Amino acid sequence: MSGAQISSISSGSPASRVDLRVGDQLIEVNGREPTDIIEYQQLIDGEEVTLLVQRGEDALKRKVLIRKTVGEPLGISIDSAVFDRIRTCDNHCSFCFIYQLPKGMRRSLYVKDDDFRLSFLYGNYTTLTRFTEFDLERIIDEGLSPLYVSIHTTDPELRASMLRNPRGATSLRWLSELLKAGIQVHGQVVVCPGVNDGTDLERTLEDIVSKYPQLASVALVPVGVSDFSGEESMRLHTQPEAASVVNLTERFARLCRKTLGRTLVYASDEFYIVAGQVPPSAESFESLDEAENGIGMVALFEQSFLHGTSMAKLGTGFFQSVDGAPAWGYRANRSDLDTPEEGEYIAIMTGEYGAPILRRLLDSVGYEAVQVVAVANTYFGGNIKVAGLLTGKDLAEALVTIPESTVCLVPDVCLSEGRFLDGSTVDDLPRSISVVATTGSDLRATLDSFLSRRLVGA
């Protein structure tokens, strides 16, 4: 993190009426040195805000007084969420995807955090192995909720082994304290075949229902295994194994609805796809707030595509609702969107998991003429088949097989700040593409516009 540096100032805002510039370093707010954007937001809420700023590395520090109404936005965007240091993760999980990244990718992709502040702000999952009494007090005092906790297993020895950290055996005690204090927590279990599935997974779900029934939700997600994994114990789920996880999840979901009055436990859409089953429809979910974690993402996309409903809710974390929040990691700005150019045909490029779902949706609305191109992820390999992890290399290899007369649509979820995961850009591709927003309604509008123009031209 780069510290509290001003990245933008809104025109007409209180901050625009004083001597502040983009690039100024924020040192203090009302006499306090905030350590993160949470504290900063609390300090700027009053009628008068005094900032101590520094312009340039060698410039003297100076104070700036801003007057505004209570609750009025200051008009400043800060380019970082944490001003001191990210609390990095000291686990060494065999299933960690960061360890499976090849060399040479963007530096930010290799940051492995276990910071409760980023859990609150962005929905990142924390194992609580670096959690402290001070952290607990701050969360309770400031009401930092919801949080997102990686459970993986409730067996102390197995959890310590999976995290390769002895504190993993005891850190779930903090989960109990958070729930006892009324903090909303979403849990996650990364299911690794032959490690924490089967009877171990069943025992984990039993413990969740009996020991942590206050959890807002528990998501079961399959381990991602790329060709760069060096862990012999990590392998892909077979179809019967995925079906077993789905069946176990649905059994406990029924139990939770009967005993707790709500579903609580969900399996990700990917488990259904690997099991050869259709992911649940929107009516099957009490909430689609966990769609970004793969829980009901297909249902949310279908709902958006067929009925034009917004997918603005997609995402987790407090900053989903904060105007001007600093973009960070995979939440950075994606890319400029394009209006598809003229062409004879149109094709949607997506991952191997999404392709059959898109095909079914298009056929259901009479868009059989729209092509769907399933792009194989040769960059990562393994079971990495989602659209968001496609790289420029993957797309380039697929594009050379598509006729020039076909307009190719690529979802913006592939990009971050205009770059693919492998660092390449749209301009590096062998031919032009059109980048479209990754929502069902946006895709539908793009297709409607293109096909109507083509009919008029005909």
Judge whether 336 and 416 are in contact, CB under 8 Å.
Answer: no
Does some domain include residue 129? yes
Domain match, 105 and 131 both: yes
Residues 133, 117, 115, 80: what is their CA dihedral angle, to the nearest 10 degrees? -140
Domain match, 248 and 111 both: yes
Does some domain include residue 344? yes
Does some domain include residue 328? no
Does some domain include residue 206? yes
- The amino acid occupying position 320 is Q
Domain match, 180 and 290 both: yes
Share of the chain residues as helix, strand and coil, in percent rounded to the nearest 5? 35, 15, 45
CATH of the domain at 58: 2.30.42.10
Judge whether 61 and 41 are in contact, CB under 8 Å.
Answer: no
User: 412: which residues sit within 8 A by CB, 6+ positions away?
Assistant: 334, 335, 337, 435, 436, 437, 438
Domain match, 205 and 167 both: yes
Domain match, 116 and 233 both: yes
pTM for the model stands at: 0.88
Strand, coil or helix: what is 136?
helix
HSE at residue 292, side-chain half, CA atoms within 13 A, is 18
Domain final residue, candidates 293, 321, 349: 321
CA 151 vs. chain centroid, Å, equals 18
pLDDT the model gives residue 103: 80
CATH of the domain at 446: 3.40.50
CA distance 85 to 187: 25
Q: Roughly how many angstroms between the first and final C-alpha of the chain, as a whole number?
A: 54
Q: CA-CA distances (angstroms) from residue 334 to 102, 330, 371, 387, 434? A: 22, 9, 24, 14, 13
CA distance 10 to 74: 9
Domain match, 138 and 186 both: yes
Does some domain include residue 369? yes
> Pairing state of beta strands 76-78 and 147-150?
unpaired
- The amino acid occupying position 432 is S
Cross-strand bridge partners of residue 351: 375
pLDDT the model gives residue 287: 78
Domain match, 39 and 151 both: no
CATH of the domain at 118: 3.20.20
Domain match, 267 and 164 both: yes
Domain match, 268 and 343 both: no
Domain final residue, candidates 78, 112, 128: 78
Does some domain include residue 93? no
pLDDT the model gives residue 214: 97
Query: Max CA-CA distance within the chain?
Result: 69
Domain match, 436 and 384 both: yes
Domain match, 355 and 314 both: no
Does some domain include residue 45? yes
Token duo for residue 103: 């060399």
CB atoms within 10 A of CB 181: 14
Q: Give the residue numbers spanning the domain of 307.
A: 98-321
Number of compact structural domains in the chain: 3
Does some domain include residue 348? yes
Contacts 24+ apart (CB under 8 A), 303-308: 303/440, 304/439, 304/440, 304/441, 304/444, 305/361, 305/440, 305/441, 305/443, 305/444, 306/361, 306/364, 306/365, 306/440, 308/441, 308/444
Token duo for residue 408: 């190719």
In angstroms and rounded to an integer, the radius of gyration of the C-alpha atoms of the chain is 24
Domain final residue, candidates 299, 321, 343: 321
Q: Give the helix/strand (H/E) hosting 356.
A: helix 354-364
198-211 and 239-259 are packed helices; what angle lies between their axes, rounded to 10 degrees? 20
CA distance 191 to 204: 11
Token duo for residue 57: 């590395």
Q: What is the DSSP letter of 77?
A: E
pLDDT the model gives residue 421: 87
Q: Low-confidence residues of the chain, pLDDT below 70? A: 1-3, 309-341, 454-458
Domain match, 421 and 356 both: yes
